[in-house]
């Protein structure tokens, strides 16, 4: 029993049950649909005014507010009559919307739970793949344009033979290559960064050849490139303190999913499901 009292999920179910009872007490009979009295109070006015300000960036004047209140009453009348006619039954859109609202209520309950550093570190260790920093390359590229050269690949190979024994700071990149719309040097770029800038073929080629120094000529959608890899930062697990905010978000998402599943299991016990199938 003591172990049960220490279980966060048990606390959640107790809190959740209490809130649902409190909600039922505050909202008896869900607005008491059978009662023909429609109450409009200050909270309704405040809600309508805030919604109007959000849409129009100004508060409503008296005429506009009167119109808003009339529309509110009209919507409530139609809503109650629709419920009396049971128009909500077997309506997939309404069922889905009510399901979402119920899940939002559960989400608010799950968000109220606070994880200790011990909980977060355990979660971090249980999901190491979630917090991996990808391999990143720093490189310089020299461009050989197929529009300006008849044999750009051969020119690149000849140039590579001439400079292959030189360090990158001993090569005048701008004089050797052709003008290019992107910069020559790229620092700490991962695969997706390179793919977006220079295309998938280029990215795959330099990440597959990942070794510091000059690489064999690489082709992109723009033409031919000579590439010098100056630094490689291999894939590694990021320190907990670096990704702690992400861990908190991920932990809460998992808690929400867990609470939804456990709450559904408990609620389902109240029902008898009868399948009448051919």
pLDDT for 144-195, tens place per residue?
999 999 999 999 999 999 998 888 888 888 889 999 999 999 999 999 999 9
Is 116 a domain residue?
Answer: no
Same domain, yes or no, for 148 and 216?
yes
pLDDT for 239-262, tens place per residue?
999 999 999 999 988 888 888 888
Q: For residue 58, what are the domain limits?
A: 33-89
pLDDT score of 14 more than 70: no
Name the domain boundary from 23, 55, 89: 89
Same domain, yes or no, for 77 and 151?
no
Q: What mean pLDDT comes out for the span 84-111?
A: 79
Same domain, yes or no, for 148 and 224?
yes
Same domain, yes or no, for 139 and 228?
yes
Q: What is the dihedral of CA 99, 105, 107, 109, to 10 degrees?
A: -150
pLDDT score of 267 more than 70: yes
Is 54 a domain residue?
Answer: yes
Q: What's the CA gap between 112 and 115, in Å, rounded?
A: 10
Same domain, yes or no, for 229 and 142?
yes
CATH number at residue 141: 3.10.50
The model carries a pTM of 0.56
Residues 6+ apart with CB under 8 A from 153: 144, 217, 219, 224
Is 155 a domain residue?
Answer: yes
Is 49 a domain residue?
Answer: yes
Is 165 a domain residue?
Answer: yes
Domain count, the chain: 2
Same domain, yes or no, for 159 and 216?
yes
Same domain, yes or no, for 70 and 155?
no
Query: Can you list the alpha helix ranges (DSSP code H) found in the chain?
Result: 2-5, 8-26, 29-32, 42-56, 62-84, 92-111, 117-126, 152-163, 173-176, 191-198, 200-208, 240-268
pLDDT band, very low/low/confident/very high, at 94 (cuts 50, 70, 90): confident
- pLDDT for 187: 95
Is 184 a domain residue?
Answer: yes
Q: What's the CA gap between 41 and 146, in Å, rounded?
A: 74
Is 41 a domain residue?
Answer: yes
- pLDDT for 192: 95
Nearest to 190 by CA among 237, 136, 146: 136
Mean residue pLDDT of the chain comes to 84
Is 210 a domain residue?
Answer: yes
pLDDT score of 212 more than 50: yes
Same domain, yes or no, for 60 and 145?
no
């Amino acid at each position: 029993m003591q172990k049960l009292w220490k279980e966060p999920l048990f606390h959640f179910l107790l809190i959740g049950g209490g809130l649902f009872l409190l909600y039922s007490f505050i909202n008896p009979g869900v607005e008491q649909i059978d009662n023909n009295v429609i109450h409009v109070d200050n909270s309704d006015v405040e809600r309508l005014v805030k919604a109007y300000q959000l849409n129009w960036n100004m508060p409503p004047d008296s005429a506009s507010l009167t119109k808003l209140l009339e529309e509110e009453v009209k919507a409530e009348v139609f809503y109650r009559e629709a419920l009396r006619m049971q128009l909500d039954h077997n309506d997939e859109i309404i069922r889905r919307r009510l399901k979402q609202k119920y899940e939002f209520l559960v989400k608010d309950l799950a968000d109220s739970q606070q994880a200790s550093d011990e909980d977060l570190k355990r979660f971090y260790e249980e999901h190491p793949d979630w917090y991996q920093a990808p391999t990143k390359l720093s490189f310089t590229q020299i461009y050989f344009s197929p529009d300006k050269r008849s044999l750009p690949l051969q020119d690149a190979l000849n140039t590579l033979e001439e400079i292959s024994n030189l360090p990158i700071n001993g090569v005048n990149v701008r004089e050797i290559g052709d003008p290019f719309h992107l910069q020559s040097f790229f620092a700490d770029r991962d695969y997706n960064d390179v793919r977006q800038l220079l295309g998938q073929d280029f990215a795959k080629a330099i990440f597959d050849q990942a070794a510091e120094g000059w690489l064999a000529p690489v082709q992109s959608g723009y033409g031919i490139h000579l590439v010098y890899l100056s630094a490689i930062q291999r894939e590694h697990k990021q320190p907990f303190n670096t990704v702690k905010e992400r861990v908190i978000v991920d932990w809460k998402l998992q808690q929400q999913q867990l609470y939804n599943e456990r709450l559904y299991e408990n609620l389902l016990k109240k029902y008898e499901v009868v399948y009448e199938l051919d």
